[in-house]
């Protein structure tokens, strides 16, 4: 995610067998555009070399208050812990051992990392790693509680096999999970706090018989990207998803899985009254078989007639129930007369915004990781965006909705 681009991150590494994961964490952060400065404790060097971390971070690793040069004593360079703390947008200590937790909780300051911690004015994230019994010990639990009471953020240890051979809590959070927490921090927008956001995504499947169904090419990627953007901005997101292989985009999201247009309508109808923001990104079938067969239809005739009936128009039905304090966003995927069709849909379904994309635009539409959209608001102002990743498109929509929320 681009919200780590240019962010200055101090990474503290302490004496834990899980220190090897710090190399993977650095690699992910640098790949996402962050500027990483590593500060190691002396004990951490027993588990991973400073050279490894310096190579990955592209910065010399700091460990001592004074770096002695090859010229001998007295001509070293002072590593100013105050300047380091002021430089950082965020300090994350991963892994943080039980020993370092105890030091930080009680203000002991006997090395560069603890001095940086005590000088930090930026947010501090702590990702503990230790054996199961150590993690559950009342002393450790009290130290964690104490550190959180100071305003530090805890990235919970995970359940899994530990170095001792035990299985349980104490395992350092996976680097990808740590990155997600940092992304969520930088993406957070106070205006979305306690906002209930309802999003539909993916296709629907309309049963012909127990084996076959009618569907479309929607992958759900766009709706899932939007759900991730709003969740990381701090909203409470409910995602109503048709059948898709997309993974849950954020662990805080509540996903309701449905299959048919009717099921999606019933779920949306039930959730709609609680929502402040409603984004209907699903590709819902307009027609469904009138009488689905109870048994598999056998191949007999050359021509097979299938009688269809209209499904409930979810957007139009919810549009009629829309309150002044709700914001609704719809999607229009078109192949011709794009603007005219989108404007008609905007008015007919009482949307605040309609998101238009055309199958005639290369790289847009179903299945792609990119999209090219034009957004029209209820005053029929147009906002045109270039082709970009669906995560970036989701950020553009987030920004437009935020402007609307600020006016309510």
pLDDT above 90 for 302: no
Query: Nearest Cα to 170, choosing from 120, 200, 128, 199?
Result: 128
Phi, psi of 11 (to 5 degrees): -110, 115
| Total-model pTM | 0.80
Tokens of 105: 């909780």
- The domain ranges of the chain are 2-69+76-186, 190-292+305-407
pLDDT above 60 for 75: no
Is 58 annotated as belonging to a binding site? Answer: no
CATH of domain 2-69+76-186: 3.40.50.1950
Give tens-digit pLDDT for 314-334: 999 999 999 999 999 999 998
Is 345 annotated as belonging to a binding site? Answer: yes
Query: Nearest Cα to 405, choosing from 304, 325, 302, 339?
Result: 325
Return all residues near 78 (Cβ < 8 A) that are at least 6 apart: 65, 66
pLDDT above 90 for 156: yes
Among the options 80, 216, 341, 350, which is catalytic? 216
The pLDDT value given to residue 72:
45
Is 331 annotated as belonging to a binding site? Answer: yes
Q: How far apart are alpha carbons 66 and 315 in whole angstroms?
A: 65
* C-alpha distance from residue 152 to each of 111, 169, 346 (Å): 20, 20, 45
pLDDT above 90 for 73: no
Query: Same CATH topology for 2-69+76-186 and 190-292+305-407?
Result: yes
Give tens-digit pLDDT for 337-389: 999 999 999 999 999 999 999 888 888 878 889 999 999 999 999 999 999 99
Average pLDDT, the chain: 93
Q: At what angle do helices 261-271 and 314-321 cross, to 10 degrees?
A: 20
The pLDDT value given to residue 80:
86
Give the architecture-level CATH label for domain 190-292+305-407.
Answer: 3-Layer(aba) Sandwich (3.40)
- 205 neighbors 259 (Cβ within 8 angstroms): yes
Say whether 216 is catalytic.
Answer: yes
| Rounded mean pLDDT, 164-177 | 88
Give tens-digit pLDDT for 189-215: 999 999 999 999 999 999 999 999 999
Q: At what angle do helices 175-187 and 221-232 cross, to 10 degrees?
A: 70
Tokens of 280: 């209907």
The pLDDT value given to residue 77:
77
Question: Residue 170: pLDDT band by 50, 70, 90 thresholds?
Answer: confident
């Amino acid at each position: 995610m681009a919200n780590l681009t240019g962010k200055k991150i101090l990474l503290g590494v302490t004496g834990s067998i899980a220190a090897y994961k710090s190399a993977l964490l650095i690699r992910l952060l640098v790949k996402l555009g962050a500027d990483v400065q590593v500060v190691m404790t002396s004990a951490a060097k027993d588990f991973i070399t400073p050279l490894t971390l310096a190579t990955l971070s592209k910065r010399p690793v700091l460990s001592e208050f004074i770096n002695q040069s090859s010229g001998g004593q007295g001509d070293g360079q002072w590593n100013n812990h105050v300047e380091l703390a002021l430089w950082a947008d965020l300090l994350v200590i991963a892994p943080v051992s039980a020993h370092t937790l105890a030091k930080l909780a009680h203000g002991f300051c006997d090395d560069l990392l603890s001095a940086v911690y005590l000088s930090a004015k930026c947010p501090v994230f702590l990702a503990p790693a230790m054996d199961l019994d150590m993690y559950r010990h009342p002393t450790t639990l009290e130290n964690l509680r104490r550190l959180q009471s100071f305003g530090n953020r805890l990235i919970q240890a995970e359940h899994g096999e530990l170095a001792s051979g035990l299985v349980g809590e104490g395992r350092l959070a996976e680097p990808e999970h740590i990155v997600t927490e940092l992304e969520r921090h930088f993406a957070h927008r106070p205006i979305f706090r306690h906002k209930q956001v309802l999003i539909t995504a993916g296709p629907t499947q309309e049963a012909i018989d127990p084996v076959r169904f009618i569907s479309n090419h929607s992958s759900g990627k766009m709706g899932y990207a939007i759900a991730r953007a709003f969740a990381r901005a701090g909203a409470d997101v409910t995602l109503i998803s048709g059948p898709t292989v997309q993974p849950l985009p954020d662990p805080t999201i509540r996903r309701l899985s449905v299959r048919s247009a009717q099921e999606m309508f019933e779920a949306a109808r039930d959730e709609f009254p609680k929502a402040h923001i409603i984004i209907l990104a699903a590709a819902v079938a307009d027609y469904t078989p009138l009488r689905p067969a109870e048994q598999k239809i056998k191949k007999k005739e050359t021509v097979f007639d299938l009688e269809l009936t209209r499904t409930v128009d979810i957007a139009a039905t919810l549009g009629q129930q829309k309150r002044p304090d709700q914001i609704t966003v719809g999607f229009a995927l078109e192949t011709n007369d794009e603007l005219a069709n989108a404007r008609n849909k905007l008015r007919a379904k009482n949307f605040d915004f309609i998101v238009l994309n055309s199958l005639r635009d290369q790289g847009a539409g179903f299945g792609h990781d990119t999209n090219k959209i034009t957004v029209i608001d209820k005053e029929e102002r147009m906002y045109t965006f270039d082709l970009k990743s669906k995560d970036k498109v989701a950020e553009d929509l987030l920004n437009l909705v935020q402007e609307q929320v600020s006016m309510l």
